[in-house]
């Protein structure tokens, strides 16, 4: 069974535990700037939204890589960067429409979510279940669209399609 990260922004308090867990798991330090998951802060609305790689089926980053340094992990479904193959050209960072693959200045390579080998630390560290790791069949565009419509209604008090 393939699993996927699901983000429920309504539950996010902006505590950054996900960023801390990710940076520690991948870089050995508690430093949100080294995390592969980020939390957007919408100050005026008083809201927080975690975001990370969605592991696209047709991953643009993977297709754009000129040295084939991004490959599919058949067990987790994650598109993973092979650090020894990566030349740090950043073509994948440009191709990602979501901005979830980033250049790591200290290594000279790119970094992105690899689902922590099937045990995403961001999900297990989240105290409010804003991030969960579930059966991939429980995710989908319709759920995201529904949430976006409800959020638009709640924040502007106008019809979603106005």
pLDDT tens, residue by residue, 81-95: 999 999 999 999 999
Q: Where are the domains of the chain?
A: 1-52+118-154, 55-112
Q: Name the CATH architecture for the domain at 55-112.
A: 2-Layer Sandwich (3.30)
- The whole-chain average pLDDT of the chain stands at 88
* pTM greater than 0.85 (yes/no): no
**Residue 114 to residue 150: CA distance in whole angstroms:** 30
Q: CB–CB of 60/96 below 8 Å?
A: yes
Topology of the domain covering 1-52+118-154 = Alpha-Beta Plaits (3.30.70)
**pLDDT at 45 (0 to 100):** 92
Identical fold, 1-52+118-154 and 55-112: yes
Does residue 125 have a pLDDT over 90?
yes
**Residue 152 to residue 160: CA distance in whole angstroms:** 6
- Mean pLDDT, residues 107-132 taken together: 97
Whole-angstrom distance between the N-terminal and C-terminal Cα of the chain? 40
**Residue 152 to residue 11: CA distance in whole angstroms:** 17
Q: What is the pLDDT of residues 12-62, one digit of tens each?
A: 999 999 999 999 999 999 999 999 999 999 999 999 999 999 999 899 999
**pLDDT at 119 (0 to 100):** 96
């Amino acid at each position: 069974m393939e699993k996927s990260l699901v983000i429920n922004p309504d539950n996010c308090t902006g505590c950054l535990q996900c960023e801390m867990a990710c940076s520690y798991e991948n870089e050995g330090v508690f430093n949100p700037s080294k995390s592969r998951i980020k939390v957007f802060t919408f100050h005026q609305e008083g809201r927080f939204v975690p975001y990370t790689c969605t592991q696209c089926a047709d991953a643009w980053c993977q297709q754009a890589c000129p040295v084939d340094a991004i490959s599919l992990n058949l067990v987790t479904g994650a598109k993973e960067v092979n650090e020894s193959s990566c030349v740090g050209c950043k073509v994948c960072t440009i191709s990602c429409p979501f901005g979830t693959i980033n250049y790591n200045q200290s290594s000279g390579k790119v970094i992105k979510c690899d689902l922590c080998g099937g045990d995403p630390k961001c999900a297990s560290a989240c105290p409010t279940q804003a991030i969960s790791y579930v059966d991939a069949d429980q995710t989908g565009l319709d759920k995201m669209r529904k949430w976006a419509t409800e959020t638009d209604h709640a924040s502007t008090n106008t019809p979603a399609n106005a």
